[in-house]
Structure 1
Amino acid sequence: MIAMKTVNPPQSAVSKDLEEEKCECCTSRHTFALLCSIGLGIAYFLRFNLSVAMVAMVTGSSIPVGSANMSSHSKECPRPNVSSDNTTIPNTGEFEWNPKTQGLILSSFFYGYCVMQIPGGWVSTRYGAKLIVGLSILIQSLLALLTPVAARTHIGLMIAVRAVEGLAGGALFPSVHTMVGRWAPVNERSKIIAYIGLGPYLGVVSAFFGAGWLCDQPFLGGWPSAFYIPGCVGCVWFLFWMFIVHSSPSKHPRISKRELHMITSSIGENIYEKKPVPWVAMLTCAPFWAVCVAFTCSAWGSYTLMTELPSFMKAVIGVNVSQSGLLSALPYAVSIVFTLMWANLADFLRKKEYLSVTKIRKLMNTIAALCPAAFLVLSSFVGCNQYVVAGMITGATCFQVADAAGSNAVMIDMAPHLAGLIKSVCNTFATLTGIVSPYLAGVLVNDGETKEEWSKVFYIAAGVLVFDAVFFLIFASGDVQPWSAPVTEIEVTTDEYSEASSQKQLWSGSTTIQG
């Protein structure tokens, strides 16, 4: 556990500092958020570029144009205009990997990713998160540079490289959350989390378009450039990260006194000591499990939206979404705007004190769960128009990203100095849904040609999301938990705060932040 010495003013004084602060785009905390967002974007590009590059890498197969491989022969949504020409498009890739081998290579990343969640969160909490974040992206970047060599050497080496890349990536998000807990003031928490969260969406969109474009270029041999270029970018990013970003505001040599005071007066100035993690208290805490349930259920909904609905479009509607970069990237692109919208709304409600922190988090999580559930149910009743179904995916995603200001933010509210560890535990459960959800869908959907079969998948996902909303509403809390940060000493450092302390109680690790 982490013991701290905390300098904490009354909440009213904190709010006054935050309200008086002018909009500054080059502050240390915003620089941290920007570099963190770019780093996550690079990491996500490196995670998904292989899925796109695989098409150019493999050989020994062709794509029949106008055949059932391009569109299903579903009787519910016939395509009378589909050509019967079975002309094939030869694939000139250099690897003879069958679909099973390709699946093994692609999945190897996530096995490593799942294993490293909790160790990564523990290490970042105990020894500092800045270096872990930097090394995570550096290692993934270096392994990306080695990927073409590994692929041409042996299939086993290729799988090993991807698995180690997953191990490095598994420590990333818990470490990022640890740093956010130290850098994000209370009234800007949702916004900073959202800004950082834009990186993965931009990375996915860039992978869909950028990796495919690089594979078609003669530069660096075609598909290898989809690994060489982002790998080099990641190495350059590492240098900027190590020289510009610091693990906490108090350790930053160039931070302004005003910003340092504003951050520390909001979340406390901490002197960390190595203490055992309060596992028993944490694992028996209802708000902790509310976050884990929300993460797991939200991940189930995400996998259904981004994996099963596109499969439904291919099998029943007759459109292979992977063949359309626009339809594939549209949900991610639109989510960028809505992520910022929900985050700014949450921080506005918090800053104006219209709702407490707990109520804001519950509101956002309810939106992120129930609205996508409704879209999933409606997907079973829409007709055969591919654009309507694509609109369902996009609409559901626009609401689901509200969890950036819900379950993603509440773990920092309830335990700001253990947020990385909580993230790692919850993310472990969430990652497992990526294995369970597709498998269950395969069991429920036999030949995959009728809406009735697919409706079972959508109803189950909707039910999971409804359970998420109800459980979170009952058990979640945005208050600092007693086990999260025991305080060894509390002191007030300014006359203004000393005068205010007679009217407002200073919060500590054993009290709660009230909205």
Structure 2
Amino acid sequence: MPLQDNARRRISVMEKSTDHLTKEQYFVDENSSETADKGPRFGCRYVQSMLLCLALVSGIGTRTNIAVAVVAMTDKYASPNPNVPTYDWNNTSVIISSFFWTYISLQVLAGHLGRKYGPKYFLFGTSLLNFFACAAIPFSAARLGSHGVIACRIVQGMCQGFLYPSIQVMMGTWIPKEERATLNNLIFAGVAIGGIYSTLLTGYISASWWGWTYSFYILSLVGFLWCILWLFFGHDSPAKHPRITKEEKKYIQSSLKQEDDIQLPTPWKQIFTCVPLYAILIAYVGNLFGYAVMTTEIPTYLAKVMSFDVKRNAINNAIPTAVSLLASMITGPASDWLIQKQYLSTLNTRRFAQIIGSYGNAICLIWMSFLSKDQAYMAVIILSFASTLTSFVQIGCNVNHLDLSPRFSGVIFGILNAIGQLASVVAPLFVQFAVTDTKSIEQWRTVFIITAGFFITGASVFYFLASATRQTWDGPDLKDLSENKKKQSSAERETRSS
């Protein structure tokens, strides 16, 4: 009975929220999204997806460049210019991980605020401050040493705490279910592109006469340009877009079976007791621990064990990311095609993608752990193959929460990312504890094998506990409400006639 009462209350809220809708808006055909006109070939949903992709390019660029820059910041021979400042720091892992100290704490709040008030201006303001903090790193390093850099990274983490949850709120209102994997991979291609351009730019600038300081200035400038684009062309939802066609708007809203201006109370209890969400969480933790090791610590491994210089190291780190980007352009549309043609169910598509991505990365890490110092380029090949497999994870656990609850995707992802990103904090500290001699192959082998265990555990749990069914607590769709209102209207007419 309590569950039924709760459901009735939620339906009541939905009914009040839809009183303003016209008859045409209100009665939504269940299959209309599959047959309706989708609007222009390159519609507003693609423009928003491209803007979100660029948000990740600029945001990830200013987040990950520190992994390469810190090598040049502590190497007096990195640049031919003797005036480029260098430092004798032994806390580089702390510098890298400090970003996540504040990044984690704001995830849930960011998702909630974005859903309630709209993500556009939260994303704009926090991104702008993030780019200012990035540009301030050279000055802070010169005046305050490593503690100044850590302070800037903490500010960046606080600002980027809004990045992913805001993007997820946008995805929950803009991406039709028929294009979920395709547009998800388009948006999150920004992670790979940001990593590539940031790594290459930082490596080349650091090895040039300009030195590492200019890499922070250039990355920040790119970010400021994105802010201008977002301010003029970004929109919270189809309902708030001034130029979207009626056909595209109807297609998106029919596919999601919801009006995006309806506000429901967040079902916190149901979210925290949803077993499939815990499956996503465990897989997400395993992935993030593995990726943190591979993105922030592999540059040190390649530099110290495989003896690559700064420029060569930047190229070697960019190659796997480029391969991952190309692979994601194939896996996203392919998974949508498999689901639409009913060759695989949505659930099995998510399961198999996660197994391929995570188990594949685990095998690659174990393989790489047994390479010798004269097999440096084999390490790059293995990393490239691992990055190819990483694209499968994007259509596995990384998109699964949208299957469960598109309406509360920002809040849910905030919870997942807040807990999951603890792994990104722990991973560099774990490496610093496990690797006391950065030139020791044996110590790196221990790190790689333990990291492989995280990948395998996460994927295994996800396979057995995951679901792809939209949860009842996500709220009834408009068709359910229309039927409910029909019954109420009929009952009212009978009462008046009697």
TM-score (normalised: structure 1): 0.80
Aligned counterpart for 1:40 among listed residues 36, 56, 75: 56
Alpha-carbon distance change, 279 to 399 in structure 1, aligned in 2, over 3 angstroms: same
The share of aligned pairs that are identical, in percent, is: 27
Residue 174 of structure 1 corresponds to 165
Q: Is 2:418 aligned against 1:401?
A: no
Q: What is the aligned counterpart of 2:186 among 170, 195, 205? A: 195
- C-alpha distance in 2, partners of 1:8/1:296? 41
Query: Which digits, 9 at most, give the CA deviation of each residue in 1:183-217, with x for residues without a partner?
Result: 00111011111111111211111112223444566
Deviation per residue, 1:387-446 (Å, 9 max, x gap): 222211111111022111111111111111111112122112222212323343444456
Partner secondary structure for residue 479 of structure 1: coil
For residues 302 and 102 of structure 1, what CA distance do their matches in structure 2 show?
18
Cα distance between partner residues in 2 of 1:222 and 1:311: 19
CA distance in 2, matches of 1:200, 1:40: 6
SS in 2 for 1:165: helix
Q: Distance in 1 between matches of 2:141 and 2:306?
A: 36
Which residue of the partner structure matches residue 341 of structure 2? 352
Letter of the 1:282 partner, please give it. Answer: I
Aligned to 1:511: none
Report the Cα offset of residue 54 of structure 1.
4.5
- Equivalence map 1:102-251=2 (5 Å): 102-155=92-145, 157-215=148-206, 223-251=212-240
Which of 324, 328, 334 aligns to 1:335? It is: 324
8 Å Cα contact 1:8/1:265 also seen in 2: no
1:351-500 alignment runs, 5 A limit: 351-382=340-371, 384-445=374-435, 447=437, 453-486=443-476, 490=480
Name the amino acid aligned to 2:57: G
Q: Secondary structure in 2 aligned to 1:254? A: coil
Offset at residue 113 of structure 1 (A): 1.6
Give the letter for the 1:411 counterpart. Answer: H
Q: Which has the higher helix share?
A: 2
Asked if structure 2 preserves the Cα contact closer than 8 Å seen for 1:7 and 1:265, the reply is: no
Q: Is the 8 A contact 1:309 1:393 kept in 2?
A: no
Structure-to-structure mapping, 1:64-103, within 5 angstroms:
92-93=82-83, 95=85, 97-100=87-90, 102-103=92-93
Distance in structure 1 (CA, Å) of the matches to 2:207 and 2:370: 39
Structure 1 residue 132: Cα displacement: 1.8
Contact 1:122–1:421, Cα closer than 8 Å, also in 2? yes
Question: After superposition, where does 1:274-353 map in structure 2 within 5 Å?
Answer: 275-309=264-298, 311-313=300-302, 316-319=305-308, 323-353=312-342
Partner of 2:242: 253
Unaligned runs of 5+ in 2: 1-9, 19-24, 487-498
Give the AA of the match of 1:370.
Y
What secondary structure does 2:98 align onto? helix
How many residue pairs get matched? 463
Structure 1 CA distance for aligned equivalents of residues 54 and 404 of structure 2: 27
Contact 2:239 2:261 in 1 (8 A): no
- State the distance in 1 between where 2:268 and 2:299 align: 40
Structure 1 gap segments, 5+ residues each: 64-87, 499-515
**SS in structure 1 of the partner of residue 407 of structure 2:** coil
CA RMSD after TM alignment: 3.2
Task: Please identify, of 221-230 and 199-208, the stretch whose mean Cα deviation from structure 2 is larger.
Answer: 221-230
CA shift in 2, pair 1:101/1:462, >3 Å: closer
User: Retained in 2: the 8 A contact 1:311–1:320?
Assistant: no
Structure 1 position 34, deviation (Å): 0.8
**2 CA distance for matches of 1:312 and 1:236?**
34
- 8 Å Cα contact 1:8-1:266 kept in structure 2: no
Per the TM alignment, residue 318 of structure 1 is displaced from its structure 2 partner at its CA by 4.8
Preserved CA contact (<8 Å) 1:112 1:166: yes
Residues 458, 40 of structure 1: alpha-carbon distance in 2 compared, 3 angstrom cutoff: same
Cα distance between partner residues in 1 of 2:346 and 2:27: 18
Question: Aligned partners of 1:185, 1:8: CA distance in 2, in Å?
Answer: 18
Q: Which moved more, 1:43-52 or 1:477-486?
A: 43-52
Aligned-partner Cα distance in 1 for 2:142–2:447: 39
Using a 3 Å threshold, how does the CA distance of structure 1 residues 451 and 208 change in structure 2: closer, same or farther? closer
Q: Output the CA distance in 2 between the equivalents of 1:311 and 1:234.
A: 27
Greater CA deviation, 36-45 or 231-240?
231-240
Q: Distance in 1 between matches of 2:61 and 2:450?
A: 30
Secondary structure at the counterpart of residue 394 of structure 2: helix
Structure 1 residues 321 and 369: CA distance shift in structure 2, 3 A: farther
Structure 1 stretch displaced more, 312-321 or 103-112: 312-321
Give the 3 Å change call, closer, same or farther, for CA 48–420 of structure 1 in structure 2.
Answer: same
Distance 1:420 1:463, change over 3 A: same
Cα deviation 1:239-263 (Å, max 9, x = unaligned): 2212212111111110011111111
Per the alignment, do residues 22 and 281 of structure 1 end up closer, same or farther by CA in structure 2, a change over 3 Å counting? closer
CA distance in 2, matches of 1:464, 1:345: 27
Structure 1 position 305, deviation (Å): 3.0
